[in-house]
Structure 1
Amino acid sequence: MRVVTPKLRLIDRIYIPALIKGLYTTIKHFFMRRFTQEYPEEKRKPFPGYRGLHRLNKDHLGRVKCVACFMCATICPSKCIEIEADEAPWEDREKYPVKFEINTLRCIFCGMCEEACPELSIQLTHIYEMADVTREAFVRRKDDMLGTNEFWVLKEY
């Protein structure tokens, strides 16, 4: 069987229609709204359901609200929460966390720890800037997460 190729007309051979079609696409995109944000200067506003860095909330006396019930560590699917409890020096609770660490490299930011907490002490914020140099810096400790409260107040998202 022989393949017959159609003979190209002059206008098809000089590619002017294809060139005009390409220029039309370029000009159309040139006048469209741009999507780029100048990142360090312009920060995007996270969506309402966005789950970013963890923070530990404080009670009205400035103490950590966590009662070391281990529910967040138990429900965490990636097992990134590590808690060590001790007897609380206050009379309104039995224990409090001496050590509370979250490995954010391992965390999948699912929000199950936030849902499981009966005291509403752990919360996922809208902070999305987590870049750092060492792996140890991604292990967030109790003091870091309590300090996120001040970071959250200072940064208006």
Structure 2
Amino acid sequence: MSQNVKVVQRASSSVRDKLYLPAIYDGMKITFKHFFKNLSDINAVDVLRYPEEQPQDITDRYRGLHRLTHRPDDSIACVACFMCATACPSNCMFIEAQEREDGHDEKMPKSFSIDTLECIFCGYCVEACPCDAIRMDTGIFSLTGNKREDFVLDKEQLLANKGAFGEVCSCARD
């Protein structure tokens, strides 16, 4: 049995090509061109003085931080069904259920937390929620903190977030 093997000669393998000098030179040329252009006309550099100036290019469809909604009687709308945590691809939602005593449903969340450092802000939790208890319409696009625990939102923080487009709950069950 004979095999047809085709030998392909490599392109130039000079020392100059092996050191990537032409590519490094081209990259540095572009970098220095922008550097000196910005240095000569500092007012042409586009700068946003955050947080005094807020970005204006955020669309209405932007998914902000999460929030938990309330019913009209001010009780929590979440029924601790775990659908949001099940749908979450990054497994950043942690829910512990307890029995509900206000007569609305069987259970409610005893603890509800979202690790925003793990969250990919995909919105699957909002889509999976059967009673519209979790939303991502706060309009909050930045969260700052000094330690990891500052980025884990608990139930009280999620309930305190208000919707940027009005508080309307469509989960009023009797």
Q: What is the distance in 1 between the residues matched to 2:157 and 2:63?
A: 17
Q: 1:135 to 1:34 in 2, by over 3 A?
A: same
In the alignment, structure 1 residue 38 sits paired with structure 2 residue 72: no
CA displacement, residues 13-49 of structure 1 (integer Å, 9 cap, x when unaligned): xxxxxxxxx9xxx6xxx7x987432222111242111
Is the 2:139–2:163 contact (alpha carbons within 8 Å) kept by the matching residues of 1? no
Question: Structure 2 counterpart of 1:135, which letter?
Answer: R
Question: 2:146 pairs with 133, 144, 153, which one?
Answer: 133
**Under a length normalisation based on structure 1, what TM-score does the superposition of the two structures give?**
0.72
1:115 aligned residue: 127
Give the fraction of aligned pairs with identical amino acids, expressed as a percent.
Answer: 43
1:148 and 2:126 aligned? no
1:133–1:151 distance in 2 versus 1, CA, 3 Å: farther
- Residues 1:85 and 2:97 aligned together: yes
Task: Give deviations 1:44-96, integer Å, cap 9, x for gaps.
Answer: 24211111211111111111110001000000000000101111011121100
Query: TM-score normalized by structure 2?
Result: 0.65
SS for the counterpart of 2:140 is coil
| Count of equivalent residues | 129
User: Considering only aligned residues, what root-mean-square deviation do their CA atoms show, in Å?
Assistant: 2.8
1:99 is aligned to 2:111:
yes
**Aligned equivalents of 2:164, 2:128: Cα separation in 1:** 24
Which residue of 1 is the match for residue 86 of structure 2? 74
The worse-fitting range, judged by mean Cα deviation, of 33-42 and 76-85 is: 33-42
What's the offset of the Cα at 1:129?
1.9
In structure 1, the gaps of 5 or more residues are: 1-21
The list of structure 1 runs, each at least 4 consecutive aligned residues, that deviate by more than 6 angstroms after superposition, is 150-153
Q: How far apart are the structure 1 equivalents of 2:82 and 2:117?
A: 20
Corresponding position of 2:59: 47
| SS at structure 1 position matched to 2:84 | helix
CA distance in 2, matches of 1:76, 1:40: 31
